[in-house]
Structure 1
């Protein structure tokens, strides 16, 4: 429970956590927790709820104007964390994926998320490795299912490196260039909440589509089944009339 509460607190106020890491571990030591959290979110399939986007944004803010972090160090740190994390997740899926799914112990791996991830891989192929970076939860599952489906490793590696660099750079640089704006400073917590909510929109939309999009075929099937007795009755009536 303590670890869950830690991540909830981190999600709500990443600025205080990074400030505390800089104060207690020193500027160089603060890169360690940032690396670890980005790596775990992308590399451990049971931890898809970590605040990767908001953490990158906040870390970028602390790299601006000499606030403790250095952008020239921070960017390579988050690049490596994102790339190595997906690499790890790929091999977990490749070696243990079927057993993990069959066990049913990963509660975050809901049927809707599995379906959305598999649909993305089917539609976009290796490009899904890049696109999936920008979808919370999905970004944790995509490399896992790529490994499970035994995607060609060279293709996976290329899009993993490309996606890891682009995703981590975008959110880090957003914090670097815009985190110091007065209105952002005054409402920093609200900005973090907004980032989380905006990044969740595609995932929520996918869940709703998976849930309600299936009702139409079911209704059509039920309608067809309901018409079967009537069709049979009509056929019987025609047969009796012919007789």
Structure 2
């Protein structure tokens, strides 16, 4: 009973996961996070960085005896699993997306996700949308089925899925691999702030775009008011 409880808690702890599941487990989690909609809670970014540490010379120092992993297996397997997972998500979206997201009372599969994702695609285009989503937790899980629901062409999705998967997995793995010795003394204290910084950098283009959009709307509203030439509340629309 205690072991099962500990396992359930450790699912959210990247360090515990890496120390427990090995290369095959890491690859399975990457697939689940990107392909199975229930996998959105997995700590994908920190998991990959710690997997890179586990393949470095600092593996035993950080994760304990027997934690050493193969960097070659991770560099080949992680992007392949990320690609396969996203393709599954896209396929699910194409086949059952409308039914899945047409549930107003659902806490996970909400219709507004489709609308928000559609705006996201329109603002950034399919290429940027799919690639950037890889670096944003939760978004990388839900964007794939939403892309399928919006009938994003399979060839277009596959191309940018491959690009995004390689950029995301290889970047995170190599950060851990090449900085393992430096991270070892402070990894428990600074891993979460470091991940927060990476996520912030990843989503910064979205914030910039939102700010630009708001400025455009304000400018358009001001221009519209000037053309009208009437103050608000002038009674223009009153009857009689």
Q: Distance in 2 between matches of 1:17 and 1:138?
A: 22
Instruction: Name the larger-Rg structure.
Output: 1
In the TM superposition, what are the counterparts of 1:83-162 in structure 2 within 5 Å? 83-104=83-104, 105-107=106-108, 109=110, 111=112, 114-122=114-122, 123-162=124-163
Q: Distance in 1 between matches of 2:177 and 2:187?
A: 13
What's the CA shift for 1:88?
0.5
- Deviation digits for residues 21-61 of structure 1 (CA, Å, limit 9, x no counterpart): 3xxxxxxxx11210111111111223323111000000000
From 49, 55, 65, the equivalent of 1:63 is: 55
With over 3 angstroms needed to count, the CA separation of the structure-2 counterparts of 1:139 and 1:185, relative to structure 1, is same
What's the CA shift for 1:143?
1.5
Q: Which secondary structure state, in structure 2, belongs to the residue aligned with residue 125 of structure 1?
A: helix
With over 3 angstroms needed to count, the CA separation of the structure-2 counterparts of 1:159 and 1:40, relative to structure 1, is same
Q: Structure 1 residue 42 and structure 2 residue 34: aligned?
A: yes
Q: Which secondary structure state, in structure 1, belongs to the residue aligned with residue 141 of structure 2?
A: helix
Q: Is the 8 A contact 2:58 2:180 kept in 1?
A: no
Q: Is the 8 A contact 2:100 2:109 kept in 1?
A: no
Higher helix share: 1
Aligned residues: 212
Q: Distance in 1 between matches of 2:238 and 2:95?
A: 57
With over 3 angstroms needed to count, the CA separation of the structure-2 counterparts of 1:232 and 1:46, relative to structure 1, is same
What is the TM-score with the length of structure 2 in the denominator? 0.74
What is the TM-score with the length of structure 1 in the denominator? 0.73
Quote the RMSD (CA, aligned, Å).
3.5
Between stretches 75-84 and 191-200, larger displacement belongs to 191-200
Partner of 1:7: 11
With over 3 angstroms needed to count, the CA separation of the structure-2 counterparts of 1:191 and 1:64, relative to structure 1, is same
Q: Distance in 2 between matches of 1:66 and 1:6?
A: 22
